[in-house]
Structures are given as C-alpha cells and as structure tokens.
Structure 1
Amino acid sequence: MTKGKKVAKYKYYKIEGDKVVRLRRFCPRCGPGVFLAEHLNRYSCGKCGYLEWKQPQKKEE
C-alpha cells in the first residue's frame, strides 16, 4: 500500500438505490476484494502482478 497517501475508495464503488455497484474489475488470481488498476492499454494487479491487455476497439464507419 502507499505510505502516507490516502486511497480514494469512493472511486471504486457506486450506490444505486439500496445496492452497491463495484466499478472496477477484481483480480482473477487474488479474488474478490483486490481491484485491478486500469491503465490506457492494460489492467494490472498491484498485489500479485497479474497483467491483462485491453483489446483494441475497432472503429465503425
């Protein structure tokens, strides 16, 4: 975890009615509770180092 920095947990969840919606994906290795960081071209886990590349989106004309 980061030393001396606060984690903005409100960015990971959203409340809809009486339900909590998780906005980020979970790490498939670590399981629920560990979110993947979203970068421009990949998702990565800071705990175990799991890396998943994003699929390039095709532009429709």
Structure 2
Amino acid sequence: MTKGKKTAKYKYYKVEGDKVVRLKRFCPKCGPGVFLAEHLNRYSCGRCGYMEWKQPAKKEE
C-alpha cells in the first residue's frame, strides 16, 4: 500500500440479504484475506508476486 492512503475495503465485499459476498479473488499461495489485484490482462498478488493471466475471449463467427 502507498503511504498515507487507506484501502477502500467496501469495494471488496457486497452484502446480499444476510450474506457477505467477496467481489475479488483470493491469492492461492497466501490464502484467504489476501486479494489479487485485477489488471487489464492479468491478476497479481502484491504480497508474494503470484500472477495469473486472464484467458482471452473467444471470437464467435
């Protein structure tokens, strides 16, 4: 995290009725509580450096 800026945690969760739904994915190496950052073409973990490429959308003709 950058100095002086707080994380907007309300963007990571959504409340549906009585349940809390997570909107972002967890890092498979770090475990629950560490979210993956979503970039244009990949997901990445800022803690351990794990990275997953997004699958390109298939074109239907």
Identity of aligned residues (%): 89
What TM-score do you get using the length of structure 1 for normalisation? 0.94
Q: AA paired with 2:52? A: E
Unaligned runs of 5+ in 1: none
Inter-partner Cα distance in structure 2 for 1:45 and 1:60 = 32
How many residues align? The count is 61
Inter-partner Cα distance in structure 1 for 2:55 and 2:10 = 27
RMSD between aligned alpha carbons?
A: 0.8
Inter-partner Cα distance in structure 1 for 2:59 and 2:29 = 32
Unaligned runs of 5+ in 2: none
